[in-house]
């Protein structure tokens, strides 16, 4: 029997007039997946009919060929286009030679040779940035060239298009004083992103679902982006939360985020957060329920 039967899940709870929808999944961790979640995730995402699927890294547990092969088979069941970035688990940990000589060889072979995947139309512009490094085992890093390139590519499109960056490592965590979980050179990157009006940053890594405003951590006058962090969609490596993923419904100056969680053998909407864009950036409007 196929692991991926045809989708039969119900449509998402709310589909109100979004101009674009983005399914955001993260931390699949093939090698440590709960197999029951896979066909359910395909069904739920297919039913949502997203314009883009964003995958924010850690596709595998140990960057092995068989894990990447399984990840590739799964990704092929999801709608396209897909914006995928690697995570720290997609770089070999124990094979030192591979870690230094060709850290993303398997990722490039099975997933994509493009480490800056990009999609844009009249409504959204979305770019993936690789924050996984050989030098920093668990932590990630972003550099000035990546930030400059992101700003150049994301501003080539209509002023009204919502500008979205996808990274594995997050720019924020629950504890304001804790910087260990945050991508290296995050402050430099946020100053650059403020300069080119990045609206949303999608990330993973922490295996918890969370949305916050950048202004709470990065004090940049007149600027507040949305940090949207997805939990682990399919992995048994949970951090006190069930498996989850997000569906973003994007309008010009408003974004709703449905958080789908794994409940009773299917993914269903547990919470919807709504945000609006004002003169000083993105701010929360309502949370349901
Ligand atoms: Fe992870
Ligand atoms: Fe990670």
pLDDT of residue 44: 98
pTM over 0.85: yes
CA of 96 to the centre of ligand 1 (A): 20
What angle is formed at CA 37 by the lines to CA 34 and CA 41, rounded to 5 degrees?
145
Q: Residue 95's pLDDT band (boundaries 50, 70, 90)?
A: low
Q: Does residue 9 have a pLDDT over 90? A: no
Average pLDDT over residues 202-208: 97
- If you measure from the C-alpha of residue 92 to the centroid of ligand 1, how many angstroms do you get, rounded to a whole number? 14
| Average pLDDT rounded to a whole number, residues 28-42 | 98
Distance in angstroms (rounded) separating the CA atoms of residues 101 and 137:
15
Measured in Å, residue 57 CA sits from the centre of ligand 2 at 7
CA distance 114 to 122: 23
Ligand nearest to the CA of 27: 1
Which ligand is in closest contact with the Cα of 232? 1
CATH architecture entry for 20-288: 4-Layer Sandwich (3.60)
Centre of ligand 1 from the C-alpha of residue 144, in Å:
25
Contact status, residue 213 vs residue 284, Cβ threshold 8 Å: yes
Distance 275 CA to ligand 2 centre (A): 27
Tens digits of residue pLDDT in 80-89? 999 999 999 9
Q: How far apart are the CA of 137 and the centre of ligand 2, in A? A: 10
The Å distance, Cα 60 to ligand 1 centre, comes to 8
- What phi and psi values does residue 145 have, to the nearest 5 degrees? -65, -40
Copy the structure tokens of residue 110.
Answer: 């099975």
Q: What is the pLDDT of residues 124-167, one digit of tens each?
A: 999 999 999 866 657 899 999 999 999 999 999 888 899 999 99
In the structure encoding, which two tokens stand for residue 48, read together? 């949502």
Q: Which ligand is nearest to the CA of 208?
A: 1
Given a cut of 80, whether residue 245 has pLDDT beyond it is yes
How many angstroms separate the alpha carbon of residue 233 from the centre of ligand 1?
10
Band of the pLDDT at 96, cuts 50, 70, 90? low
User: Which pLDDT belongs to residue 12?
Assistant: 47
**How far is ligand 1, taken at its centre, from the CA of residue 256, in Å?**
25
Q: How far is the CA of 158 from the centre of ligand 1 (A)?
A: 34
CA 277 / ligand 1 centre spacing (Å): 30
Distance 182 CA to ligand 2 centre (A): 11
> How many residues would you count in the chain?
289
Q: Which two tokens stand for residue 192?
A: 């650059």
- Report CA(10)–ligand 2 centroid distance (Å): 31
Q: How many angstroms is it from 235 CA to the middle of ligand 1?
A: 8
Q: Which ligand is nearest to the CA of 140?
A: 2
Ligand 2 centre to CA of 17 (Å) is 34
Q: Considering every ligand atom shown, identify the ligand nearest to the alpha carbon of residue 233 and give its number.
A: 1
Q: What is the 27 CA–ligand 1 centroid distance (Å)? A: 4
């Amino acid at each position: 029997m196929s692991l991926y039967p045809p989708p039969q899940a119900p449509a998402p709870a709310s589909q109100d007039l979004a101009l674009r929808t983005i399914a955001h999944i993260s931390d699949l961790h093939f090698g440590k997946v709960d197999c029951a979640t896979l066909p359910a995730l395909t069904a739920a995402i297919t039913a949502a009919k997203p314009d883009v699927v964003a995958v924010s890294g850690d596709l595998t547990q140990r960057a092995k060929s068989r894990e990447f092969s399984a990840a590739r088979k799964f990704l092929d069941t999801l709608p396209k286009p897909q914006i995928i970035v690697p995570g720290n688990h997609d770089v070999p940990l124990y094979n030192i030679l591979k870690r230094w000589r060709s850290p993303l060889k398997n990722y490039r072979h099975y997933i994509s040779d493009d480490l800056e995947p990009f999609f844009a139309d009249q409504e959204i512009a979305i770019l993936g940035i690789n924050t996984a490094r050989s030098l920093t085992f668990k932590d990630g890093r972003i550099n000035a060239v990546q930030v400059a390139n992101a700003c150049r590519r994301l501003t080539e499109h209509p002023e009204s298009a919502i500008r979205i960056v996808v990274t594995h490592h997050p720019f924020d965590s629950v504890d304001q004083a804790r910087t260990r979980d945050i991508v290296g050179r995050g402050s430099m990157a946020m100053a650059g992103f403020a300069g080119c009006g990045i609206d949303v940053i999608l990330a993973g890594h922490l295996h918890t679902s969370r949305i916050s405003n950048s202004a709470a951590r990065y004090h940049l006058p007149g600027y507040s982006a949305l940090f949207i962090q997805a939990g682990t969609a399919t992995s048994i490596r949970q951090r006190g939360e069930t498996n989850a993923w997000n569906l973003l419904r994007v309008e010009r100056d408003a974004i709703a985020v449905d958080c789908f969680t794994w409940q009773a053998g299917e993914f269903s909407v547990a919470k919807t957060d709504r945000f609006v864009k004002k003169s000083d950036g993105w701010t929360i409007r309502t949370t349901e329920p």
